[in-house]
Amino acid sequence: MADSEKVYTPEEIDDNPFPTEDSIEGFDVTQNTSNDIINAQKIADQSFPSKRVAVELLSTALNTKSKKILQEFEFTSSGAIKVGEYQNGVSGELKISPNGLVARNNAGSTTFAIDGDTGDAVFTGTIQAGTLIGGQVAVGDGDILIDGEQKRMIFYDPDTGLPSIIIGNA
């Protein structure tokens, strides 16, 4: 049986250099220089780039300290402004566009709206003014009409919708 078993020994493979190298150097070989000391090149310290600020715009049109707009801004024909971000129960928002103004509170209700095309306005809260000039003012559900042009007040019957009291010119 001893004759039938073969013993295999490792075959030695010679080192071959890469195509661009002349030979492979071992770790025990040092590079021969003509007494020059070679150190890694040091990169000079560099600061972070400074932030570019639109100085002319900030100094002449916006005051960042007082948070005030100092000059008029113009929008493109489709431009608009949105102030705030509506979040239910947290915050409301205001939208200004060429079509008008709309504001809503944190409950999502429109508190005021002005239509840019018709001039119609809707206000949820109290309107207070030193003087109010208008042609006709409908009060409540429209049951009372104050007519400044005809110089009269008309009280309408809520059931029939017909005038029940007229004060002034008939």
Tens of pLDDT, residues 45-97: 888 877 776 666 666 777 878 888 888 877 677 778 888 889 999 999 999 98
In whole angstroms, what separates CA 90 from the centre of its chain? 17
Of all residues in the chain, the percent with pLDDT exceeding 90 is 24
Q: What is the pLDDT, as a whole number, of residue 105?
A: 94
For 58: left if phi > 0, alpha if psi spans -120 to 50, otherwise beta; the answer is alpha
Residues forming beta bridges with residue 57, ordered by sequence position: none
Q: How far is CA 111 from CA 88, 103, 127, in A?
A: 14, 6, 12
Identify whether the C-beta of residue 137 lies closer than 8 Å to the C-beta of residue 149: no
Amino acid 27: pLDDT: 55
The predicted-structure confidence for 113-128, as pLDDT tens digits, reads as follows: 999 999 999 999 888 8
Residue ranges of the domains in the chain? 77-126, 129-170
Higher pLDDT, 13 or 28: 13
Q: How far is CA 116 from CA 11, 14, 95, 100, 101, in A?
A: 93, 89, 12, 4, 7
33: exposed, middle or buried (Cβ count in 10 Å: 0-12, 13-18, 19+): exposed
Distance (Å, whole) CA 170 – CA 167: 8
User: What does pTM read for this prediction?
Assistant: 0.46
